[in-house]
C-alpha cells in the first residue's frame, strides 16, 4: 500500500510532559514543512498551558478528538509506555503516521500488536530512538565501520546511578518504576537507548539471558540487572545496570573491544568518546544540538515528504523490547 506524500506535516501531540518541553517539542516547529497543530492531555490545565506557552492553535483532553482533527495529519505519542499501543493503533487506523516515544510499548506482545496494524494499514510508525541520528553516536558508528579498532570482538555496557530523591517517596513513586505503566523499572526506560544503538552498530541481538533483582527495596520493580547476549554474527556482549548504587559507583559507559584497540563512550552524559589503540589515546568531544530529537525529526519529516527513509521504525524497535523482556523474564 503506497503512502501519501505530505507537503506539510501538521502534528498532534498526545501527551505534553517533560520530554516535550525541550528534547522534542520545539524541534517539530523548526523543521521545514513541519508544525505543531494541536496538543492533548487528560489534564485540561496542562493541555491549555502547553498550547499557550508554545503557541499551538488547539488543545484537547481526549485523544480520539485530536486524532479526528482534520488539520492534524500525523501524531506524536509522548505518554508513558503502557498507552503507546492503544494510541498508536488508533492513529494508524485513522490513516495518520505516528512518532512514538521509546520504548515502543510496555511489552514485546504490545509491540507485535502495533506491527500488525502498521502492516495492515500501511501507515508508518516511527520510534524516538533519536540517539542514532545524533552526531556523537554517528561518530562512534563511523569509527567502528572504518575499522579504527579492527574487528569488534566484544561489547560491554556498564551503568550505575544512585536512587533519585523521588524514589524514596513510597506513596508517590515516579511512573518509571511502576511496572504496569512503564513495563519495568528504570532499566525499561534507559536500557532501550543503549540496546538500540548497539543493534544499529552491529545488527540484531538474537540470543539473550538475564538476571534481575530488587536490592534497594525502594519500589517493587527491578533496580539491578545483569545480562549476557549475542549478536547475529556471534559476537558476545554483556550489560550491568544498577539504579541504587553509591555515588562513587556512578557509571555511564559502553566499551567496544576490538582486535586493534577499544572505543569507550557514554549514552546519557555524552562524555568525550575515547579511542585507544597502539598509536595512543584520543578523546573526541562532539556537542549536541539544543533539541536532541531534532536530527531524527528531520529524518521523519523527510520520509513523510517522500525525500528519504527513516529506519527507526516499529520493526527495529520491536527487537529492543524483545531483548528487554527476555532479560527480565517476561517472555
Quick: pLDDT tens for 135-144.
999 999 999 9
Q: How far apart are CA 188 and CA 203, in angstroms?
A: 20
User: Which CATH superfamily includes the segment(s) 135-287?
Assistant: Dihydrodipicolinate Reductase; domain 2 (3.30.360.10)
Determine the average pLDDT of the residues in 121-148: 98
d(CA 331, CA 107): 9
320 has a pLDDT exceeding 90: yes
Structural domain boundaries of the chain? Answer: 9-130+292-313, 135-287
Q: How far is residue 67's CA from residue 181's CA, in Å, rounded to a whole number?
A: 22
84/14 Cα distance (integer angstroms)? 10
Question: What pTM did the predictor assign?
Answer: 0.96
Pick the CATH number of 9-130+292-313 from 3.40.50.720, 3.90.1150.10, 3.40.50.970, 3.40.50.620: 3.40.50.720
Q: Compute φ and ψ for 227, nearest 5 degrees.
A: -150, 150
Query: CA-CA distance, 203 to 194, in Å (whole number)?
Result: 13
pLDDT digits (tens, 9 = 90+) for 63-78: 999 999 999 999 999 9
CA distance 97 to 99: 7
What SS3 state is found at 247? helix
| pLDDT tens string 5-46 | 889 999 999 999 888 998 899 999 999 999 999 999 999 999
Name residues whose C-beta falls within 8 Å of residue 86's C-beta, 6 or more positions apart in sequence: none
Task: Show the beta-strand stretches assigned E in 164-286.
Answer: 205-213, 224-231, 236-242, 251-258, 261-265, 273-277, 280-284
Amino acid at each position: 500500500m503506497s503512502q501519501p506524500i505530505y507537503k506539510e506535516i501538521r502534528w498532534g501531540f498526545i501527551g505534553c510532559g517533560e520530554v516535550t518541553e525541550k528534547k522534542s517539542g520545539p524541534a517539530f516547529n523548526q523543521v521545514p514543512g513541519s508544525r505543531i497543530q494541536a496538543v492533548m492531555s487528560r489534564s485540561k490545565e496542562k493541555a491549555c498551558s502547553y498550547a499557550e506557552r508554545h503557541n499551538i492553535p488547539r488543545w484537547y483532553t481526549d485523544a480520539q478528538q485530536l486524532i479526528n482533527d482534520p488539520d492534524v495529519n500525523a501524531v506524536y505519542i509522548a505518554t508513558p509506555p503502557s498507552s503507546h499501543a492503544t494510541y498508536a493503533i488508533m492513529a494508524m487506523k485513522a490513516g495518520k503516521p505516528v512518532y512514538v516515544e521509546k520504548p515502543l510499548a510496555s511489552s514485546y506482545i504490545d509491540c507485535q500488536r502495533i506491527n500488525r496494524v502498521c502492516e495492515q494499514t500501511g501507515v508508518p510508525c516511527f520510534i524516538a530512538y533519536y540517539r542514532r541520528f545524533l552526531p556523537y553516536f554517528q561518530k562512534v558508528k563511523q569509527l567502528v565501520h572504518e575499522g579504527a579498532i579492527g574487528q569488534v570482538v566484544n561489547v560491554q555496557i556498564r551503568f550505575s546511578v544512585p536512587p533519585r530523591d523521588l524514589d524514596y517517596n513510597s506513596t508517590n513513586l515516579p511512573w518509571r518504576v511502576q511496572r504496569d505503566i512503564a513495563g519495568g523499572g528504570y532499566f525499561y526506560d534507559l536500557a532501550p537507548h543503549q540496546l538500540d544503538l548497539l543493534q544499529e552498530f552491529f545488527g540484531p541481538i538474537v540470543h539473550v539471558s538475564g538476571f534481575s533483582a530488587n536490592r534497594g527495596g525502594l519500589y517493587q520493580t527491578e533496580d539491578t540487572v545483569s545480562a549476557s547476549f549475542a549478536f547475529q554474527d556471534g559476537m558476545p556482549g554483556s550489560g550491568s545496570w544498577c539504579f541504587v548504587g553509591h555515588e562513587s559507583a556512578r557509571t555511564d559507559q559502553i566499551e567496544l573491544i576490538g582486535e586493534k584497540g577499544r572505543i569507550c563512550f557514554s549514552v546519557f552524559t555524552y562524555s568525550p568518546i575515547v579511542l585507544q589503540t597502539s598509536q595512543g589515546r584520543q578523546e573526541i568531544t562532539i556537542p549536541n544540538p539544543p533539541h536532541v530529537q531534532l536530527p531524527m525529526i528531520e529524518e521523519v519529516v523527510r520520509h513523510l515528504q517522500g525525500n528519504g527513509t527513516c529506519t527507526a521504525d516499529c520493526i527495529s524497535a520491536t527487537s529492543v523490547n524483545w531483548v528487554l523482556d527476555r532479560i527480565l523474564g517476561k517472555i
